[in-house]
């Protein structure tokens, strides 16, 4: 029996292209793993009215971790139109499978490293090396939303003084998306940011919120951050509002080590941070729970490039690196990181985003060659 069982979920569009690259890399490394292919994405939404079929959830529950490609998602009305005719008007509602997996398997931590590889022509600066810790199941992503607003919800909210200005709005003209934080969720993400900082000799953890306006949720996050900072005297806690953080990340990204934020703010700043080191082609992420984790590039499925092996597979290969790290295969993870760095530095074999003409597969083959040289 193989040492690891890994769920293999390519998803849509270029998800398949980059997962083929991941396979090339894993086969060379010779990871002792069995890969179990799972159905996920748009095709299954159209055919079955469910982009995350139960059989796929079963696979996730029976494996050690998951590699995930990319997913197509469209707004509600468009999604409805593309549903198979026999499934129309049967009450199927599209929801994002990746958000669903995070919730179902309680993958509470999203970790997104943004490191400028030496020689990457797309770097904004060469000395950027930060990691975003994003709370991954709560906040605006918890899915507690109302439209139209049910009577009982409206009545309960009307006990709040600030609701008075909405008192004459018809319930169908009101939409509410809640932002729910738990103390446990705040503590967990902040602790992990500090633990990471300690382990990797980082000097600061920056908590990115907006407590001057969103007093209760952001406020809880900041209060918990201060307490946890007290237990970690060697690491500075910096507090920044999310809007200012966007400005600082453009102005002085090299100053930051570890950023920690709630779900939606983490989503936003991680795209900004990714662009500073070459864009989504370089942005990998780990969705990590207590006993299971899913690794994915943060880019989308880019349907227009599907099957062309055109997109940069670096984010996917870095996701493999994060997975190896999480599995405890530290030596291979480190070697893979070095191999990726060499290919970027040499700048010989590169995809179109870097001004090259090579295919994704050629980039993967090159990484593999460098890996074997190490
Ligand atoms: C991400 C993505 C997802 C998110 C989308 C695809 C639902 O933007 O992983 O950052 O919003 O979390
Ligand atoms: Mg995002």
115 belongs to a structural domain: no
Using the mean position of ligand 2's atoms as its centre, give its distance from the Cα of residue 304 in Å: 20
90 belongs to a structural domain: yes
Tokens of 354: 């870097």
Residues 255 and 337 in one domain: no
- Verify whether ligand 1 is closer than 6 Å to residue 95 (CB atom): no
Q: Which ligand is nearest to the CA of 285?
A: 1
What's residue 77's pLDDT?
87
Q: What is the total count of domains within the chain?
A: 3
Instruction: Please identify, among 237, 258, 276, the residue that sits at the C-terminal boundary of a domain.
Output: 276
pLDDT in tens, the chain (374 residues): 999 999 999 999 999 999 999 999 999 999 999 999 999 999 999 999 999 999 999 999 999 999 999 999 888 889 999 999 999 999 999 999 999 999 999 999 999 999 999 999 999 999 999 999 999 999 999 999 999 999 999 999 999 999 999 999 999 999 999 999 999 999 999 999 999 999 999 999 999 999 999 999 999 999 999 999 999 999 999 999 999 999 999 999 999 999 999 999 999 999 999 999 999 899 999 999 999 999 999 999 999 999 999 999 999 999 999 999 999 999 999 999 999 999 999 999 999 999 999 999 999 999 999 999 99
What's residue 192's pLDDT?
98
Instruction: Please identify, among 224, 259, 276, the residue that sits at the C-terminal boundary of a domain.
Output: 276
290 belongs to a structural domain: yes
Give the integer Cα–Cα distance in Å for 369 and 373.
Answer: 6
Report the nearest atom of ligand 1 relative to the CA of 296. 9
Contact 56/37 with Cβ under 8 angstroms? no
Pocket test for ligand 1, best of 9, 98, 137 (most atoms within 8 A of CB): 98
What's residue 232's pLDDT?
97
What's residue 220's pLDDT?
98
Picking from 112, 101, 129, the residue whose alpha carbon sits closest to that of residue 260 is: 112
Supply the angle between the helices 314-327 and 330-346 in degrees, to the nearest 10: 160
Count helices and strands in the chain by DSSP H and E runs = 13, 12
Cα torsion 207, 209, 210, 215 to 10°: value is: -90
- Verify whether ligand 1 is closer than 6 Å to residue 99 (CB atom): yes
Q: Cα dist. 273→193, 262, 284, 330 in Å? A: 16, 16, 12, 25
Unique residue bearing structure tokens 């998602």? 73
Contact 343/370 with Cβ under 8 angstroms? yes
Report the nearest atom of ligand 1 relative to the CA of 98. 7
Q: Whose CA is nearest to atom 2 of ligand 1?
A: 298
Q: Which helix (H) or strand (E) holds 51?
A: none
What's residue 351's pLDDT?
97
Q: Which helix (H) or strand (E) holds 97?
A: helix 97-104
Tokens of 129: 């090396």
What's residue 76's pLDDT?
82
Domain extent for 99 = 1-110+279-374
- Verify whether ligand 1 is closer than 6 Å to residue 298 (CB atom): yes
Tokens of 150: 């049910």
117 belongs to a structural domain: no
Residues 128 and 238 in one domain: yes
Q: Using omega within 30 degrees of 0 as the cis cutoff, is the peptide bond preceding 148 cis?
A: yes
- Verify whether ligand 1 is closer than 6 Å to residue 80 (CB atom): no
Q: Is the pTM of this model over 0.75?
A: yes
Pocket test for ligand 1, best of 14, 140, 267 (most atoms within 8 A of CB): 267
32 belongs to a structural domain: yes
CATH classification at residue 217: 3.40.50.2300
- Verify whether ligand 1 is closer than 6 Å to residue 319 (CB atom): no
Give the integer Cα–Cα distance in Å for 180 and 161.
Answer: 19
Burial of 2 (0-12, 13-18, 19+ CB in 10 A): exposed
User: Cβ atoms within 10 A of the Cβ of 179, count?
Assistant: 17
What's residue 73's pLDDT?
87
Residues 171 and 299 in one domain: no
Report the nearest atom of ligand 1 relative to the CA of 300. 6
Give the integer Cα–Cα distance in Å for 152 and 129.
Answer: 48
Give the integer Cα–Cα distance in Å for 328 and 248.
Answer: 34
Tokens of 316: 């996917």
């Amino acid at each position: 029996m193989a040492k690891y069982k890994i769920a293999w979920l390519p998803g849509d569009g270029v998800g398949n292209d980059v997962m083929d690259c991941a396979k090339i890399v894993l086969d060379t490394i010779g990871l002792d793993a069995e890969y179990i292919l799972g159905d996920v994405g748009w095709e299954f939404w159209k055919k079955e009215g469910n982009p995350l079929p139960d059989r796929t959830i079963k696979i996730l529950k029976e494996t050690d971790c998951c590699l995930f490609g990319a997913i197509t998602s469209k707004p509600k009305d468009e999604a409805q139109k593309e549903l198979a005719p026999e499934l129309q008007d049967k009450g199927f509602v599209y929801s994002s499978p990746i958000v669903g997996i995070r919730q179902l398997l309680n993958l509470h931590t999203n970790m997104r490293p943004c490191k400028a590889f030496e020689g990457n022509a797309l770097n904004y600066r060469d000395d950027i090396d930060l990691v975003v810790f994003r709370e991954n199941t709560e906040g605006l992503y918890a899915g507690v939303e109302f439209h139209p607003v049910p009577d009982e919800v409206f009545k309960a909210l009307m006990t709040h003084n600030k609701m008075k200005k909405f008192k004459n709005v018809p319930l169908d003209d009101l939409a509410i998306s809640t932002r729910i934080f738990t103390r446990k969720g705040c503590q967990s993400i902040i602790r992990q940011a500090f633990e990471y900082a300690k382990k990797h000799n980082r000097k600061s953890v920056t908590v990115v919120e907006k407590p001057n306006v969103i007093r209760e949720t952001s406020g809880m996050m900041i209060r918990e951050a201060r307490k946890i900072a007290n237990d970690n005297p060697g690491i500075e806690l910096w507090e920044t509002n999310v809007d200012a953080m966007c400005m600082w990340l453009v102005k002085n990204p090299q100053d930051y080590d570890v950023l920690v934020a709630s779900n939606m703010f983490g989503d936003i700043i991680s795209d900004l941070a990714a662009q500073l080191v070459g864009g989504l082609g370089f942005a990998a992420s780990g969705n990590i729970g207590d006993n299971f984790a899913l690794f994915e590039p943060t880019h989308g499925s880019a349907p227009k490039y599907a099957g062309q092996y055109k997109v940069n597979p670096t984010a996917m290969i870095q996701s493999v690196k994060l997975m190896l790290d999480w599995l405890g295969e530290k030596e291979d993870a480190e070697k893979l990181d070095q191999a990726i760095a060499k290919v970027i530095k040499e700048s010989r074999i590169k995809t179109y985003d870097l001004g090259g003409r090579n295919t994704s597969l050629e980039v993967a083959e090159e990484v593999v060659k460098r890996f074997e040289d190490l």
